[in-house]
Amino acid sequence: MTSQESPSVSQPPARPLWRRALGPRLRAAGLALPLVAFVTVTFLGPMLSLLTKSFYDPEVADALPETMAALRNWDGQGTPSDEAFAAVAREFVAARTERNLGRTANRVNRVASGMRSVIMGSSREMVEARAAAEAAGAATDGAFWRETMVAIDSRWAGPEPWRALEAAGQRFTARHYLKALDFERGPDGGYVRAAEVWRIYVPLFWRTFLVSLGVTLLCLVIGYPVAHMIANSPPKRANVLLLLVLLPFWTSLLVRTTSWIVLLQNQGIVNDFLVAIGLIGDDGRIAMIYNMTGTFVAMTHVLLPFLVLPLYSVMRAIPPAYMNAAVSLGATPFQALRRVYWPQTLPGVGAGCLLTFILAIGYYITPALVGGQSGQLISNMIAYHVQTSLNWGLAAALAALLLGGVTLLYVVYDRLVGIDRIGLG
C-alpha cells in the first residue's frame, strides 16, 4: 500500500515519472472504489453512529436545558434550590402541553426505574396546579412549586428523582457500559454492583461464550471426519458428498431452524419414534426444544458447513502419500493420524473454528426460535433493546462489548497461533 518513496529525492524531470507511476495505481484503486464506498456507507457509517450512541446521549439534556443548568450547582444531597423546582416545573408543563414529555420520561426511567411514573404522574397534576394558581392569581415561583410538587409526590422531597434527572441529562455518559456490566452508580457516586434481580448481562455474556465454544467443539468433532471423508473420496463421490454439505447451506436459515421444531418438539418425529419403539413412555417425552438443547442442536447444524468447508479445502491439499509413508515406516494408524495428518490440518481447524465461533457468538434468530428462555444469548438481548425497548444506547454498549470481545479473541489467536497460519485451502 505504501507508495511514492522512490521519487522523493527528485530531479526536475520527476513529475512525468511520478505521474507514470501513480496513474495505473489510481486506476486500480478506482476499481475498488465502489466497494470502499459501499462498505463505508452501509457498514462503517451505521456501525460508528450506533457505537457513538453507547456513550453520547443528548436527548434529556436537550429537552430540559433549564433544569440541567439549575442542577449544575446542586451538591447531590437533600433537594436542589427553588430555582431548580421552578425550572423543572416550567419545562415539564411546557413539554406536557406539547405532548413530548413521555419521551423524556422514558429516557430518565432508564437511569432509575420508576421515574417514568413519577414524571408522568406529577406533570399531569402540575398542569392542573398551574392552571388553578393562575386562575387564583397566585404566584408560581420556586417556593410554590417546591410545595406543590412535594404535595403531589413526596419523592420530590428526596434526592433520588433529582439525581436521576441529573444523570440522564449528561450528554457524555458511561452509564450504558455500567449497565451492560451489571454495575450502577451508588448513592455516594461510586460504582457498585447492581441489585441481584438486575444482574443479567454478565451471566448472558458468559452463557454466549460457553455456548459458542461448545457449538464450535461439537462442529469440529462432527465435521472433522466428514471433511476427511469428502477430501479422500474419488472426485465423483466427493462431489455428491459436498453437495450434501452445501444443500442445507443453501437452504434458508429459517427453514432449517423450523425443521428442527418439527423434529424435536414434544409431539415431534423424534419423540414419536422413541415412544413407538418403547424406549420412553407417552408421558415421558423428552423436552429437546425451547431450551438449551434446542439452541445447541440447531446452532450446530446451521454452523456445521462453516467448519467442514475450510477443513475440506485444507485436507484436499494433503497428499495421501504422507499417511502411507508414516504407516509404512511403522506408525499405527492412530499415531499417523495424530503426528502426521492432524498437524497438517491445523490451519483449516483454526480457520473453521474461528469462523464458527465468531458466527456463533452473534447468533440470535436460531436461539430466539428454538432456545426457549434458557437458550437465549446476548444477541437476543441486543435485538430486544433495538426493537422493543428502543434503548439503543444500551444495545450499542452491549454490541461494543461483544465486538471488543471478538477482537480480543482474534488478537489472542493471532499471538498464539498466528493469523497467517489460517488456511482456506
User: Which range touches another protein (CB under 8 A), out of 61-69, 159-167, 381-389, 404-412?
Assistant: 381-389
Give which of 239, 220, 221, 219 is closest to 230, Cα–Cα: 239
52 makes contact with another protein (CB under 8 A): no
113 makes contact with another protein (CB under 8 A): yes
HEC per residue, 142-205: HHHHHHHHHHHCHHHHCCHHHHHHHHHCCCECCHHHHHHCCEEECCCCCEEECCHHHCCHHHHH
The residue from 73, 328, 389, 407 that contacts another protein (CB under 8 A) is: 389
| Cell representation of residue 94 | 411546557
313 makes contact with another protein (CB under 8 A): yes
309 makes contact with another protein (CB under 8 A): yes
120 makes contact with another protein (CB under 8 A): yes
- Residue numbers 194-223 binding another protein by CB under 8 A: 197-200, 203-204
Helix (H) or strand (E) holding 314: helix 292-316
User: Which range touches another protein (CB under 8 A), out of 20-28, 318-326, 337-345, 384-392?
Assistant: 384-392
100 makes contact with another protein (CB under 8 A): yes
Say which amino acid occupies 150. Answer: V
User: Which range touches another protein (CB under 8 A), out of 77-85, 128-136, 144-152, 302-310?
Assistant: 302-310
CA 128 distance to own-chain centroid: 45
By beta-carbon proximity to another protein, the closer residue of 386 and 417 is 386
Smallest separation (angstroms) from another protein to the CB of 302: 8
Give which of 63, 54, 160 is closest to 106, Cα–Cα: 63
Smallest separation (angstroms) from another protein to the CB of 194: 9
Say which amino acid occupies 266. Answer: N
**How many angstroms separate the CA atoms of 165 and 88, rounded?**
10
The residue from 337, 365, 409, 417 that contacts another protein (CB under 8 A) is: 365
Contact mark string toward another protein, 320..339, x via CB under 8 A: --------------------
By beta-carbon proximity to another protein, the closer residue of 246 and 412 is 246
User: Which range touches another protein (CB under 8 A), out of 8-16, 63-71, 82-90, 192-200?
Assistant: 192-200
| Cell representation of residue 241 | 458428498
Smallest separation (angstroms) from another protein to the CB of 198: 6
**How many angstroms separate the CA atoms of 337 and 301, rounded?**
26
The residue from 111, 354, 360, 381 that contacts another protein (CB under 8 A) is: 381
Give which of 48, 149, 67 is closest to 108, Cα–Cα: 67
Q: Which residues of 229-239 are buried (b: 16+ CB within 10 A; e: fewer)?
A: ebbeeeeeebe
For residues 264 and 289, is the Cβ–Cβ distance under 8 A?
yes
290 makes contact with another protein (CB under 8 A): yes
Site size for another protein, by CB under 8 A? 54
For residues 222 and 300, is the Cβ–Cβ distance under 8 A?
yes
305 makes contact with another protein (CB under 8 A): yes
- Residue numbers 259-288 binding another protein by CB under 8 A: 265-267, 287
User: Which range touches another protein (CB under 8 A), out of 50-58, 153-161, 210-218, 304-312?
Assistant: 304-312
Give which of 289, 291, 300 is closest to 360, Cα–Cα: 300
- Residue numbers 7-46 binding another protein by CB under 8 A: none
By beta-carbon proximity to another protein, the closer residue of 77 and 387 is 387
Break the chain down into helix, strand, coil percent, rounded to 5.
Answer: 75, 0, 25
Helix (H) or strand (E) holding 38: helix 14-39
109 makes contact with another protein (CB under 8 A): yes
**How many angstroms separate the CA atoms of 330 and 252, rounded?**
48
Binding footprint of another protein on the chain (CB under 8 A): 96, 98-103, 105-106, 109, 113-114, 116-117, 120-121, 197-200, 203-204, 246, 249-250, 253, 265-267, 287, 290, 305-306, 309-310, 312-313, 316-317, 355, 359, 365, 372-373, 376, 381, 384, 387-390, 423-425
